[in-house]
């Protein structure tokens, strides 16, 4: 089997999908994208794809290593997302060629069911509550929403109060019948992250995502409330980790929902 063509498809507003076709009629799909940089990643996919045309798609590790190590520059969110999307498509092809789900090739089924949360947009407390009410009617009981707008390195109590108002409104409206995570999106510097985490703790979020940027993981021990405060929310850090150097603190990733690349550069990263 040989790879014949790579085609990319934009799905507005920000998604990109890749179809890798072979000369035997089997096609695999991947999702090579970084939020807000879909066209940049797309260009990288097609540059990398030049090497793939005419190659055997079953040699996934061989191709991955060549794509990763074959250029002078390695790593970074753009190149790694491009390689990841290609990697997904190659595994998809292999699974289809062998007639098994890809999870059978990666160690087998682990879970029969998985708890999910529903993202809730908007920044106004009343708006959040109204949306959650609607999603509860659809059967969701776990949610995630924005923690705060951009914050200055040292910001005023008004900014803290504004962020707390949303969390408080959700708890007040629904009590402990709902669970929620809070996403800071890496918008908050370590000094304000420490304050926000402390102030939000009484509302018992399931987790706080990107309380600071992944590159600032060394601030976690200082930003997190002390262990004696037993309800400290887990901090989820690795959503943006995209190269072997970006995730040097795996212990911080216990609640992360993504497999991070290790220094050994797993081909499935
Ligand atoms: Mg996030």
Q: Domain check: are 129 and 247 in the same one?
A: yes
H helix intervals, the chain: 38-52, 60-69, 77-98, 102-105, 125-137, 157-174, 190-200, 220-223
Q: How many domains in the chain?
A: 2
Structural domain of residue 188, as residue ranges?
Answer: 118-253
Structure tokens, 222 = 């200082």
From the CA of 240, how far away is ligand 1's center (Å)?
8
- Whether 18 is covered by a domain: the verdict is yes
Coil, helix or strand at residue 146: strand
Q: How many CB atoms lie within 10 A of CB 149?
A: 12
From the CA of 96, how far away is ligand 1's center (Å)?
32
Tens-place pLDDT, residues 104-156: 999 999 999 998 999 999 888 999 999 999 999 999 999 999 998 888 999 99
What pLDDT, on the 0 to 100 scale, is given for residue 69?
96
**For residues 191 and 162, is the Cβ–Cβ distance under 8 A?**
no
Q: Domain check: are 168 and 209 in the same one?
A: yes
Q: Domain check: are 179 and 249 in the same one?
A: yes
Q: 242 falls in which pLDDT band (50, 70, 90)?
A: low
H helix intervals, 9-156: 38-52, 60-69, 77-98, 102-105, 125-137
Instruction: Output the CA torsion sign for 254, 259, 260, 263.
Output: positive
pLDDT above 50 (res 253) = no
pLDDT above 60 (res 31) = yes
How many Å apart are CA 224 and CA 219, to the nearest integer? 8
From the CA of 256, how far away is ligand 1's center (Å)?
11
**Look-up: residue for tokens 């090579």?**
32
Show which of 76, 105, 134 is a domain's final residue.
105
Stretch 18-38: mean pLDDT: 97
Q: Domain check: are 141 and 204 in the same one?
A: yes
What pLDDT, on the 0 to 100 scale, is given for residue 240?
65
Q: What is the CATH number of the domain that holds 90?
A: 3.30.390.10
- Whether 262 is covered by a domain: the verdict is no
Global pTM reads 0.73
- Whether 164 is covered by a domain: the verdict is yes
How many Å apart are CA 86 and CA 8, to the nearest integer? 11
pLDDT above 90 (res 80) = yes
Q: Domain check: are 9 and 128 in the same one?
A: no
pLDDT above 90 (res 221) = no
From the CA of 145, how far away is ligand 1's center (Å)?
9
């Amino acid at each position: 089997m040989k790879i014949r063509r790579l085609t990319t498809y934009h799905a507005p507003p920000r998604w990109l999908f890749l179809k890798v076709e072979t000369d035997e009629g089997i096609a695999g799909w991947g999702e090579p994208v970084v939020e807000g940089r879909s066209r940049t990643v797309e260009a990288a996919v097609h540059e990398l794809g030049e090497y793939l045309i005419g190659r055997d798609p079953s040699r996934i590790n061989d191709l991955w290593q060549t794509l990763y190590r074959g250029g002078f520059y390695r790593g970074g969110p753009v190149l790694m997302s491009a390689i990841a999307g290609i990697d997904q498509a190659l595994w998809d092809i292999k699974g289809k060629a062998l007639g098994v789900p890809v999870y059978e090739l990666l160690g087998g089924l682990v879970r029969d069911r998985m708890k999910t949360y529903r993202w809730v947009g908007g920044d106004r407390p009343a708006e959040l509550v109204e949306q959650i009410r609607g999603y509860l009617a659809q059967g969701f009981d776990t949610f995630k929403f924005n923690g705060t707008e951009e914050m200055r390195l040292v910001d005023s109590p008004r900014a803290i109060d504004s962020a707390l108002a949303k969390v408080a409104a959700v708890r007040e409206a629904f009590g402990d019948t709902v669970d929620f995570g809070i996403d800071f999106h890496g918008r908050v510097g370590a000094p304000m992250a420490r304050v926000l985490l402390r102030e939000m703790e009484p509302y018992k979020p399931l987790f706080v995502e990107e309380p600071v940027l992944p590159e600032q993981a060394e601030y976690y021990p200082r930003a997190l409330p002390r262990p004696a405060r037993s309800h400290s929310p887990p901090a989820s850090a690795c959503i943006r980790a995209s190269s072997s150097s970006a995730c040097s603190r795996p212990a911080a990733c216990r609640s992360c929902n993504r497999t991070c690349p290790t220094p050994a550069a797993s081909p499935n990263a």
